[in-house]
Amino acid sequence: MEISEVIRRRRTELGVSQADLAAAAGVDKRQIRRYEAGEQQPLFSVAVAIAKALQITVGELAGIPTHRVNLSGDWWASWQTSKDGAEVITAQEVRFRQEGDVLQLQAVTRGIEVEDGGYHWRGELRLWDNEILMGWYAANDGSVRSKGTMYFVLHPHGQEMAGRWVGLSYDGKIVTGFGGMAHSEQEARSIIDRLKTEEGGK
């Protein structure tokens, strides 16, 4: 695939205008128009800036095929946790932004009330071999203790992921629970149910 087509397609996927892309890459809008028309090729430094703005690698910008699954977009995350010794299953919307093998995650909704532990959080996952995602999370809501790690196994078609989180409880104990992510709340919650059945609720 030609660079012109890659730029045009990826820009359309992200829903950004030529002017938006130009501003993000630090070039004139007319340059983006020329690149997309195939009239010019960007210099390497400009190509790096455009690739970053488009959240792809320079290789992908150059049309080198990649077999990496693209997980960018809106997801639902479901978590198995507890409050006062009772199990709580939560679900919240999360936005994924992928750049190469690294995904930036940002919670869009809380899922439950703040008093019950419904925090906004951000995190990062690294994709390994299109199969495993490992990373961290941290609450955005001040100095709460909601920080920890995540480990997920990705479905072969990239439609869902199932795994665990590990973090600190209010009393300082290391706690863990199942986690599931999918494109709908119901699918994300069903992952938790499946994991509890398979693993005996542990």
**In the block, residue with structure tokens 């693993």:** 199
Residues in the chain: 202
Q: What is the CATH number of domain 3-61?
A: 1.10.260.40
Please, which residues have CB within 8 angstroms of residue 36's CB and are 6 or more apart in sequence?
4, 7, 8, 11, 18
Q: Which pLDDT belongs to residue 67?
A: 66
Q: Beta-carbon neighbour count of residue 104 at 10 Å?
A: 16
The whole-number mean pLDDT for each consecutive block of 10 residues of the chain, a chain of 202 residues, reads 91 92 96 96 95 89 80 94 85 92 92 72 93 94 81 92 90 88 96 91 58
CA dist 94 and 117 (Å) reads 16
Q: Which two tokens stand for residue 148?
A: 């920890």
Which residues share a beta bridge with 148? 137, 167
73-199 to CATH, choices 3.30.420.40, 2.40.128.20, 3.30.2350.10, 2.30.40.10: 2.40.128.20
DSSP-derived secondary structure letter, 68? P
Closest CA to 99 of 74, 131, 70: 70
CATH 1.10.260.40 domain range(s) in the chain = 3-61
Q: Which pLDDT belongs to residue 31?
A: 96
CATH 2.40.128.20 domain range(s) in the chain = 73-199
